[in-house]
Amino acid sequence: MKKTLFIAMAMSGLLFFSCNEKKDEKPTAQVETEESKDFDYSVEQFADIKVLRYQIPGWEKLSLKEQKLVYYLTQAGLEGRDIIWDQNYRHNLTIRKALENVYQNYKGDKSSDNWNNFETYLKRIWFSNGIHHHYASNKIKPEFSSDYLKQLLNDTNTTLEGEAFEVIFNDEDATKVDQSKGIDNVAKSAVNFYGANVTTKDVENFYSKKQSPDPNKPLSFGLNSKLVKENGEVKELVYKSGGLYGEAIDRIIEWLEKAQGVAENKAQGDAIGLLIEYYKTGDLQTWDDYNVAWTAATEGNIDYINSFIEVYQDPVGYKGTYESIVQIKDFDMSEKMAVLSENAQWFEDNSTLMEEHKKKNVVGVTYKVVNVAGEAGDASPSTPIGVNLPNANWIRAAVGSKSVSLGNIIEAYNNAGSSGRLKEFVHDDEELALEKEYGQVADKLHTALHEVIGHASGQLNPGVGETKETLKNYASTLEEGRADLVGLYYLYTPKLQELGLVDDWKKVGMAAYDGYIRNGLMTQLIRLNLGDDVVQAHMRNRQWVSSWVYEKGKEDNVIEKVTRDGKTYYNINNYDKLHDLFGQLLRETQRIKSEGDYAAVEKLVETYGVKVDYDLHKEILERNKQFTSAPYSGFVNPVIVPKMKDSGEIESFTIEQPKTFAEQMLYYAKNYSNLPAVN
């Protein structure tokens, strides 16, 4: 294998920005390494889900102190597991606890279709951290009757009644996050960031009155709180010790204090200390202080993400979901890929952005390949494949950001088998050959460029508010599309070959463009039910980017819609002109963000990103029926088990792999259920 090919393949897919995007199920060739040969990556498959395993390369090379740090940080993450369940929906914990009790105590017939359907339903809500689909946001429908569930509850002396029981079967709270145009997005979304009777207008009015001490360093108002209405007055319930979710947060703090005691260096220890203080106080200035310290703490073998971070699950983009990822640095690959960070200013200077929207000094963009040691909250079981944080624009501009690619997660995806869908949807043998030879390289480079260059690029005009305030419910999809466009523009440029990242920049770019258009216009539709609009932010961005360039290139036949034997394909006829169209759209999306142009983003997304051609969608679903591989994947986590001395000190660790998905979920329920059913 060529050196440059290996470098690129090790970078697979980052998506965060906020880039909490999950890995698309994409047909790939398997990449077998010495470590992967005898390792069973597959756990099980049910409904539309594949559950996988991952290894922790490099664990044995860590010192005992470093292993303790990883262990403590992993435990801290798991202690907050209940939080994401409650954030996702107000009845989730009540439902989960009841169904888990049924699952463990039912002694009746477990060979019936009803029981199999019950078990599948429970696994689906375990995977989604609640009763709404982890990606599509719609409520998961059980394939058993309410009478059967009542029988199970009765047979196991389990209580589940009232609204919490009825909502499993009725049409209430049907969508977790509804960002549709022309509705009250807060009132129509089931997510539990807002109390009963709180409206979008209430949220906007409440936060419009908040003033940051330094207008140039706006605080992330609303990030760590629930907004409720009591006696007609709107107020915040803050996530902190002694506040909302305090029981779980106190356990998080205990483990973070242990982690601080074995920190690798002062900068890392000081950052953990600020995170502890933030959890104790809920103070948003402390949160910013922590993010500045965490971003600057780049030395050491271990890093982590822990807290309320991504705002995708909030229909109006204020509230952060709880998540945790613990990471071990891959030194070799991180050193090789530092080239992207080192050239960040070149990419900014040579982009298609208006001059006033370009950063004159891109600072602090660090990029590492890491291996995950544990995940929790919104990062598990469905995991991102990379991270770019922090999210605050002013911190990115003043201090920088950290971008990481989750190397062992990517390896697990690539070695878990191919779905076989590729051949069905490519236009011709040439496109198939390009994808097979360059597709993984293109995918990995695109996502690296998306994170390292895309999210670090551009700046707001003076006086323009934060994007969540100006672009509102369209902020997330606009940002993700903008970062995608940065990657797409630079994938088709000789600069990548000059930097030693690829052997043939043109073929890599062609494969990237083929794959993006194919996915954005066709294959991602397998994730939707027939007749549904596109609601998920990343799916929307892929569709509006692809649909816009398709329409704008019609006159020159840049992308041709081909019908053959009753099947639809899209063929790119002119890659140079498509490159130019991506550049034009990048310029416009940055203008929209920089100027806070709500009318323009609404028109862009609603025109190109929401509606689906019914006949095409029906065709895609029919063509996809032949494939048995599930479209979504996620992971069980390795279990780090300490071996204790008689004195109570840890002397070593072993790594154990869960045998089944249910085994891990029940283990978590037993050991990390820190919140009551109702909070």
pLDDT at residue 440, rounded to an integer: 81
Is the model's pLDDT at 55 over the cut of 90? yes
The mean-pLDDT minimum among 439-453, 505-519, 531-545, 634-648 falls in 439-453
> Residue 589's pLDDT is what?
98
Q: What are the tens digits of pLDDT across the range 572-624? A: 999 999 999 999 999 999 999 999 999 999 999 999 999 999 999 999 999 99
Please tell me the distance from the alpha carbon of residue 619 to that of residue 577, in angstroms, as a whole number.
29
Pairing state of beta strands 49-52 and 632-635? parallel
Question: What is the predicted pLDDT for the residue at 34?
Answer: 42
Confidence category of residue 419, pLDDT binned at 50, 70, 90: low
- Report CA 23 to chain centroid distance, whole Å: 8
Closest listed residue to residue 458, CA positions, set 442, 444, 478:
478
- For residue 652, name the pLDDT band (cuts at 50, 70, 90): very high
What is the per-residue pLDDT across 36-54, written as a single tens digit (0 to 9) for each? 458 999 999 999 999 999 9
Query: Would the pLDDT of 545 be above 60?
Result: yes
Q: How many CA atoms lie within 13 A of 418 on its CB side?
A: 12
165 pLDDT tier (thresholds 50, 70, 90): very high
Mean pLDDT calculated for residue range 342-368 = 91
In this predicted structure, what is the pLDDT of residue 628?
79
Q: What domain range includes position 600?
A: 3-31+330-633
pLDDT-derived band at 19, boundaries 50, 70, 90: low
Asked, for residue 141, whether it belongs to a domain, the answer is no
Q: In this structure, is residue 217 part of a structural domain?
A: no
- Say whether 81 sits in a helix, a strand or coil: helix
Say which amino acid occupies 403. S
Q: What is the mean pLDDT of residues 349-358?
A: 97
Q: How far apart are CA 640 and CA 150, in angstroms?
A: 38
Distance CA 474, CA 537 (A): 8
Does 361 map to a domain? yes
> Are the C-beta atoms of 19 and 390 separated by less than 8 Å?
no
Is 63 a domain residue? no
What is the pLDDT, as a whole number, of residue 30? 37
Residue 575, C-beta contacts closer than 8 angstroms, at least 6 positions apart: 492, 506, 509, 510, 513
Mean pLDDT for the stretch of residues 232-261: 98
Return the bridge partners of 387, or none: 404
Pick the more confident residue, 630 or 262.
262
What local confidence, expressed as pLDDT, does residue 395 receive? 94
Give the Cα separation of 388 and 190 in Å (integer). 28
Q: Please give the mean pLDDT across all residues of the chain.
A: 91
Q: Which residue has the tokens 């006086």?
A: 463
Peptide bond into 381 cis (omega under 30): yes
Residue 366: pLDDT band (50, 70, 90) is confident
CA distance 354 to 587: 7
Does 356 reside within a domain? yes
Question: Average of pLDDT values for 247-263?
Answer: 98
Tell me what the mean pLDDT of segment 294-302 comes to.
95
- Average pLDDT estimate for 217-242: 97
39-56 b/e (C-beta count within 10 Å ≥ 16 → b): eebebeebebbbbbbbbb
Distance CA(524)–CA(543), nearest Å, equals 9
Cis before 642? omega within 30:
no
**424 exposure class (CB count in 10 Å sphere: 0-12, 13-18, 19+):** middle
Percent of the chain residues topping a pLDDT of 90: 80
Q: Which has the minimum average pLDDT: 117-131, 170-184, 480-494, 524-538?
A: 524-538
**Nearest Cα to Cα of residue 252 among 264, 268, 241:** 241
Query: What mean pLDDT comes out for the span 460-483?
Result: 93
Domain presence at residue 571: yes
For residue 418, what pLDDT is reported? 54
- pLDDT for 146-159, tens place per residue? 999 999 999 999 99
User: Is 621 a member of any domain?
Assistant: yes
- Model confidence over 64-79: pLDDT tens digits? 999 999 999 999 999 9
The answer to whether 453 touches 19, Cβ cutoff 8 Å, is no
The answer for 251, left when phi > 0, alpha when psi is -120 to 50, beta otherwise, is alpha
What is the pairing mode between strands 639-644 and 650-656?
A: antiparallel
Percent of the chain with pLDDT over 70: 93
Residues pairing with 44 in the sheet: 51
- Say if 269 falls within a structural domain: no
For the stretch 387-417, pLDDT in tens is 889 999 899 889 999 988 898 998 888 777 5
Query: Mean per-residue pLDDT for 187-209?
Result: 96
Give me the number of domains the chain comprises.
1
- Does 11 score more than 60 pLDDT? no
CA angle (83 as vertex; 406, 292 as ends), nearest 5 = 55
Q: Kindly state the average pLDDT of the residues 418-438.
A: 88
27 band by pLDDT with thresholds 50, 70 and 90:
very low
- Between strands 365-377 and 321-329, the pairing is antiparallel
The residue whose two tokens read 């910013």 is 288
Handedness of CA 447, 449, 452, 458 (dihedral sign): negative
**Which residues have a Cβ under 8 Å from the Cβ of 511 and sit 6 or more positions away?**
434, 435, 437, 438, 439, 441, 442
Whose CA is closest to 272, among 283, 263, 281, 280? 263
